[in-house]
Amino acid sequence: MKPKNTARLAGLLYLLLTIQAPIALLYEPSHILVNGNPAATTANIVSHEFMFRLSVVSQLASAVIFLYLAFVLYRLFKNVNQFQAGLLVTFVLAQVITTFVFETFNFTSIMVATGQILQSLPGDQKQNLVMLLIKIHNYGLMIQEIFWGFWLLPFGILVYKSRFIPKIFSYCLVFGFVCWITDSISFILFPAYHPMVSDWIMKVAWIGEMPILLWLLIMGAKNNVQPVEVNPQIVN
């Protein structure tokens, strides 16, 4: 595959990921989770079981698309810096693995809420367990934002070193890295201020990734440029 076509495939996968990923992330807080009310949360899962299951499937599908995107980007940038390209894939792979782990908590909450398992539990204990499982899932996603941020760092370095994508996009990617890391760290260290920080980050985080997404999708890469990182020779 020519570099231009590889870049456009990466842009297409990036676009699919951008469309697909928010479905589960936005659906659960708005339709399922009721903070401080395990009974209402459990009732929402039962009444919206199919949509909740669909949100789990959506999150898993996003993870698969993300992994595919990482390998396409590796193919595009491996001649720029193979180590950084491998690091990009490693961070994405870590996120994909943790996504599958965290989604098991949501899936288990469905089974508990609908009485498929732990049927002998009293109603209030069952509702509290459902709430606990969903909270663990959500807390896991907030910690997972560290990987969401760190995969952008080698991505930015690769864009900066390449000769077929404008360097300005590398700064945008580093900005995205700072945004996601800040959001995760504020959640862990300063939970009282996290809603304010998260609200600000959600408004500006698109600056980090949207420009490179559009460039890859529309412009692609130059077919006549094959950047190779050459180790300098030391002359005694």
Rounded to an integer, what distance in angstroms lies between the CA atom of residue 149 and that of residue 74? 17
Rounded to an integer, what distance in angstroms lies between the CA atom of residue 199 and that of residue 201? 6
For residue 24, name the pLDDT band (cuts at 50, 70, 90): low
For residue 19, name the pLDDT band (cuts at 50, 70, 90): confident
115: left (phi over 0), alpha (psi -120 to 50) or beta: left
Residue 151 phi/psi, 5-degree rounding, is -70, -25
The pair of structure tokens assigned to 126 is: 């069952």
Q: How far is CA 129 from the centre of its chain?
A: 26
**What's the mean per-residue pLDDT of the chain?**
86
Q: Which residue has the tokens 């009721």?
A: 34
Which has more pLDDT, 78 or 30?
78
Query: Mean per-residue pLDDT for 211-228?
Result: 73
Q: Is the pLDDT of residue 25 over 80?
A: no
Tell me, what's the pLDDT at 1? Answer: 65
- Rg, C-alpha atoms of the chain: 21
Q: How many residues does the chain have?
A: 236
Q: Which burial class, exposed, middle or buried, applies to 54 when counting CB atoms under 10 A from its CB (0-12, 13-18, 19+)?
A: middle
Which has more pLDDT, 199 or 68?
68
- The model's pTM is 0.84
Full DSSP string of 25-59: HHHIIIII--TT-HHHHHHHHHHTHHHHHHHHHHH
What are the CA-CA distances from residue 85 to residues 4, 15, 68, 214 (Å)?
A: 18, 20, 14, 20
Over the stretch 65-102, which tens digit does the pLDDT of each residue have?
Answer: 999 999 999 999 999 999 999 999 999 999 999 999 99
The pair of structure tokens assigned to 28 is: 């659960």
Tell me, what's the pLDDT at 29? Answer: 62
Give the residue extent of every domain in the chain. 3-218
